Structure 1
Amino acid sequence: MSEKEKTCQTRWLKTNEISMKEYRKALEDAASLLRDGELVAFPTETVYGLGGNALDAEAAAKIYSAKGRPSDNPLIVHISYIDMLEPLVEEIPSVCRRLAFEFWPGPLTMILPKSDQVPMATTGGLDTVAVRMPAHGVALDLIDTCGLPLAAPSANRSGKPSPTRGEHVYHDLQGRIPMVLDAGAVEIGLESTIIDLSRPEPVILRPGKITYDDLKPFVPRLKEYHHPSGREIERPKAPGMKYTHYAPEGTMIMLPLHVEDDFFRALESKEKTAILASTEKIARWRRFCPDVTWIALGAEDDLDSLAHNLFHALRQCDLLDMETIYIESFSEDGLGEALMNRIRKASSCPLLIEKQ
């Protein structure tokens, strides 16, 4: 970002390295900024969020501006206790209460018809609002301290890999926001599951850590996630439906689920080429093209680690100026559906290998 684009000094505060007294002071400082309509980045269990007063249209506008995010891309509102939900929505249906009891605090976002208190700027012009209760101590403490519901998309420049560490936020938003609360690496590393409860048959709009199988016992008429198209894309009800997300600077190519060793034997080693894969596949493939950059995502049967490391690995590729990035495909069972959803959105194209 150029010096002209910088609008403020960004205070980067590492909450794990300060005393409890200093932590409480940092929360009060952050809360004061939020009450004044400013923005604060903070950790959640999924990714870092860029928070502003969800009831303030001007604060929402600042979020869009800081991220470079289109204003029709709705923001998720974060709360710290269930009573904060009631003023935000027309009503709380019984299915919402069941899901909140089971999964909140946690990585589940629910979409409901909004109340008049929530400005259209927060919802991307929609008459629905997306709400969740994060499972992270700093996030909950911040919301409690400021006493406000916080609209908080991922704290990155729009279209870039979501931030899973405080330094990711600072890299993207330094000079654009006044404060970053840094609590280290997040737990999950993928954004929350989003379920739309505003329609007769609830549907998953974005897969995440909480899966269809987790939700189905509580939502008998639940429809599985499907790739949005047509009007769903033109009028997105949830983040990530319409615009490019998660992409590194280089061209990312998704490998087929089953790729033969011959592909790597034929791959020309290039200085600016990276391959992102499981530790097992790297051990198998590295000997065929040792001169490319290999980045391990985790063990192939450990979906939690693969998901946790994905966005950090994409940012590593940017720091290394990788021009071409190949990434392994994984099983879509359980959390694998959310992992592959993010990989597809970050990829320029799948790799089509002709059979000999």
Structure 2
Amino acid sequence: MPNTISTDLDQALALLQAGELVGIPTETVYGLAADARRPEAVAKIFALKGRPADHPVIVHIAGAAQLDDWAQDIPDSARKLAAAFWPGSLTLILKRKPHVPDAVTGGQDTVGLRAPAHPLTHALLERFGGGLAAPSANQFGHVSPTTAQHVYNEFGSQLGLILDGGPCQVGVESTIVGLTGEQPTLLRPGGVPAEAIEAVLGVKLIHHQKADSAKLRVSGLLDSHYAPRTPLLVGPLAALEGEAYRRFEAGQRVALLHRSQMLQAVCGAESVAMPLDPANYARELYATLRACDGGRFDVLLLERPPEEADWLAVNDRIKRAASGWLG
């Protein structure tokens, strides 16, 4: 194990208080954390990730008691959702307080807040006392990391410390809900199902595609995101089998990521069986993409998952990771 990977909370706390970066585990994906109150520390995140300067980052806090430290004009709906789902995989977009740095908000008048559920990072946040700006710990646009080793593979010794919290249990990023308009808006599907949020609020969420949110910038809404460096083509199994054969005939190395049972091996393709249920699929998706990436294959062919509501977050990530569609 590299020396930069450990469970040393004292070292993590010292680095963050000194304005340095630390890789942290959450239940969703690993984050690249800095003191959210210090613009010069947050700037190091953007520099290391290659992240656009106007792209906001989520502030991670210990719990609902810190909401008022970062947001103002907080609606009752925000406190209801925090009580129901925090700590957990839900990010709330609220009106920022004036002191919140532009480096965190991308210059907008809103801030994203989340209380992660991972016990190691929750303990770190309680000791730290403030908020940690922490987008995913990867190069901007690349597949998100779900283990400490993934973070090390991405940045190596450029990070002084990566806290090792084991594999992420959710595996895809948090659900983001906007609460600054007249109605709550689902800006990004994620670890908390939309139906569970609607049950707490007693109202339907507007989906951002239907809302007037084009000017609102939040994490994970770019058309291309979460993408492996190897081309990823998505479609029904029959179309992928034909594509795999054509690619093999052309001398390419092919990985076929599928949910359907295949009666026989597809010519020349390495078979990668994916989980059948959405929770396990989400947990394994990024790790599988990373395992197949890095030059092992010339193309990745992924069988499109079902379109049911409980696959919404998975399909959102695949849509943004895909470089093309078949069938």
Calculate the TM-score normalised by the size of structure 2: 0.92
Paired residue for 2:139?
157
Structure 1 position 181 matched with structure 2 position 163: yes
Q: In the alignment, which of 22, 31, 40 is matched to residue 49 of structure 1?
A: 31
CA deviation profile, 1:281-318 (whole Å, cap 9, x unmatched): 2x4154232x21222221x2x11111111111111121
Q: Give SS of 1:174's match.
A: helix
Aligned-residue CA RMSD (Å) = 2.2
Contact 2:223 2:320 in 1 (8 A): no
After TM superposition, the structure 1 stretch with the greater mean CA deviation from structure 2, 236-245 or 302-311, is 236-245
Distance of aligned partners of 1:285 and 1:247 in 2 relative to their CA distance in 1, 3 Å threshold = farther
| Paired residue total | 324
Q: In the TM superposition, what is the alpha-carbon distance from 1:84 to its structure 2 partner?
A: 1.4
- Find the aligned partners of 1:137 and 1:230 in 2 and give their Cα distance: 37
Q: In the alignment, which of 284, 294, 297 is matched to residue 319 of structure 1?
A: 294
Stretches (4+) displaced over 3 A: 226-231, 258-268
Contact 1:190 1:208 in 2 (8 A): yes
Paired residue for 1:138?
120
Paired residue for 2:258?
277
Q: Give SS of 2:20's match.
A: coil
1:35-114 maps to which residues of 2 (within 5 A)?
35-114=17-96
Contact 1:208 1:335 in 2 (8 A): no
Q: In the TM superposition, what is the alpha-carbon distance from 1:14 to its structure 2 partner?
A: 3.5
Instruction: Report the AA paired with residue 234 of structure 2.
Output: M
1:212-291 maps to which residues of 2 (within 5 A)?
212-227=194-209, 232=214, 235-242=215-222, 244-256=224-236, 259=238, 263=242, 266-269=245-248, 270-278=251-259, 281=260, 283-284=261-262, 286-289=264-267, 291=268
Contact 2:224 2:321 in 1 (8 A): yes
Instruction: Report the AA paired with residue 273 of structure 2.
Output: A
After TM superposition, the structure 1 stretch with the greater mean CA deviation from structure 2, 307-316 or 268-277, is 268-277
Q: In the TM superposition, what is the alpha-carbon distance from 1:126 to its structure 2 partner?
A: 0.8
Q: Give SS of 2:293's match.
A: helix
Calculate the TM-score normalised by the size of structure 1: 0.85
Distance of aligned partners of 1:56 and 1:181 in 2 relative to their CA distance in 1, 3 Å threshold = same
Contact 1:111 1:131 in 2 (8 A): yes
Q: In the TM superposition, what is the alpha-carbon distance from 1:222 to its structure 2 partner?
A: 3.6
Distance of aligned partners of 1:241 and 1:159 in 2 relative to their CA distance in 1, 3 Å threshold = same
Unaligned runs of 5+ in 1: 1-9, 16-25
- Find the aligned partners of 2:252 and 2:62 in 1 and give their Cα distance: 47
Contact 1:252 1:349 in 2 (8 A): yes
Contact 1:190 1:209 in 2 (8 A): yes
Structure 1 position 297 matched with structure 2 position 274: yes
